[in-house]
């Protein structure tokens, strides 16, 4: 039976960086993928303009079309200031999306990321997806995002992957989606470069005997 999958990300581009290949693989297998973004990723920047936000949103639309995401939701919380909002307010907005689409699988941020919005997004997911009777969500995974997951204090809630998705056939799709976010990518040797993204996929893949992979932390699996 085909699955309903939801990617819960703090900002547009996190979905492509963290699990773009996995999204494309789900779509190729006939699953339906949705995405929800809690903040915009732009307005916390000095002198940010409405034009920059429009450009970022247009890039997100292109990237999601490449990946095959059916629909996305923008929750509109303050960028890089989500710690200023009561968690309950964030959880309730996500719960309304969960009620609407009834996902079985969720992908979200690692709880130990440096970015505060990433950490709160993870906490929001875990709160909204409490394992109560008749809950639709059966699987929750955390992904890694370059320049956030590996940049936190060493040894503080490290990302330790235990699930690997072979994205050898989906790597080009992931890279095409990231091309749409060209303004958010950086030149090597910056961690969030296209080259390093491909190198990470090769490293994760080679560590489990395939060409390219995305690595995840399994948070919950109910079968």
Chain position carrying tokens 């689409």: 101
Q: Which of 121, 118, 13 is nearest to 67 (CA)?
A: 13
The average confidence (pLDDT) of the chain is 97
The percent helix, strand, coil of the chain (3-state, each to 5) is: 40, 20, 40
Please report the pLDDT score of residue 91 as a whole number.
98
What confidence tens digit (pLDDT) does each residue in 91-126 have? 999 999 999 999 999 999 999 999 999 999 999 999
The pTM of the whole model exceeds 0.95: yes
Angle between helices 50-67 and 171-180 (to 10 degrees): 160
Q: What are phi and psi of 216, to 5 degrees?
A: -135, 160
Give the other-Cβ count within 10 Å of 90's Cβ: 21
Residues 6+ apart with CB under 8 A from 111: 119, 122, 123, 126, 142, 157
The strand pair at 105-109 and 4-9 is best described as parallel
If you average pLDDT over residues 62-84, what whole number do you get?
A: 97
Please report the pLDDT score of residue 46 as a whole number.
87
Please report the pLDDT score of residue 1 as a whole number.
79
User: Could you tell me how many helices (H) and strands (E) the chain has, helices first?
Assistant: 6, 7
Whether 40 and 79 have beta carbons less than 8 Å apart is answered as yes
Please report the pLDDT score of residue 125 as a whole number.
98
Residue 202, domain CATH: 3.40.50.10320
Instruction: Output Rg (C-alpha) for the chain, integer angstroms.
Output: 16
What confidence tens digit (pLDDT) does each residue in 172-197 have? 999 999 999 999 999 999 999 999 99
Q: Does 48 sit behind a cis peptide bond, omega within 30 degrees of 0 on the bond before it? A: no
Residue 42 has pLDDT above 90, yes or no: no
Residue 41 has pLDDT above 90, yes or no: no
Please report the pLDDT score of residue 186 as a whole number.
96
Residue 48 has pLDDT above 90, yes or no: no
Whether 68 and 24 have beta carbons less than 8 Å apart is answered as yes
Please state the domain count of the chain.
Answer: 1
Q: What are phi and psi of 137, to 5 degrees?
A: -75, 120
Full domain range(s) for residue 136: 4-221
Residue 53 has pLDDT above 90, yes or no: no
- CA dihedral sign of residues 65, 150, 97, 219: positive
Please report the pLDDT score of residue 47 as a whole number.
82
Whether 23 and 140 have beta carbons less than 8 Å apart is answered as no
If you average pLDDT over residues 140-152, what whole number do you get?
A: 98
């Amino acid at each position: 039976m085909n699955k309903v999958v939801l990617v819960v990300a703090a900002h547009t581009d996190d979905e492509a960086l963290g699990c773009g290949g996995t999204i494309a693989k789900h779509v190729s297998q006939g699953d339906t993928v949705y995405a929800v973004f809690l903040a915009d990723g732009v307005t916390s920047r000095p002198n940010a303009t409405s034009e920059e936000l429009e450009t970022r949103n247009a890039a997100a639309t292109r990237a999601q079309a490449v990946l095959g995401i059916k629909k996305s939701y923008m929750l509109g919380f303050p960028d890089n200031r989500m710690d200023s909002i009561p968690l309950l307010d964030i959880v309730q907005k996500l719960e309304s999306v969960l009620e609407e689409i009834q996902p079985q699988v969720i992908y979200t941020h690692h709880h130990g990321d440096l970015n505060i919005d990433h950490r709160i997004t993870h906490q929001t997911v875990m709160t909204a997806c409490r394992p109560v009777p008749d809950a639709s969500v059966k699987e929750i995974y955390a992904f890694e995002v370059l320049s956030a997951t590996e940049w936190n204090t060493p040894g503080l809630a490290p990302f330790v992957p235990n699930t690997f998705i072979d994205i050898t056939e989906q790597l080009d799709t992931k890279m095409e989606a990231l091309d749409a976010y060209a303004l958010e990518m950086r030149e090597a040797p910056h961690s969030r470069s296209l080259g390093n993204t491909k190198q990470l996929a090769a490293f994760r893949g080679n560590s489990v005997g395939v060409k390219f992979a995305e690595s995840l932390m399994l948070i919950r699996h109910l079968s």
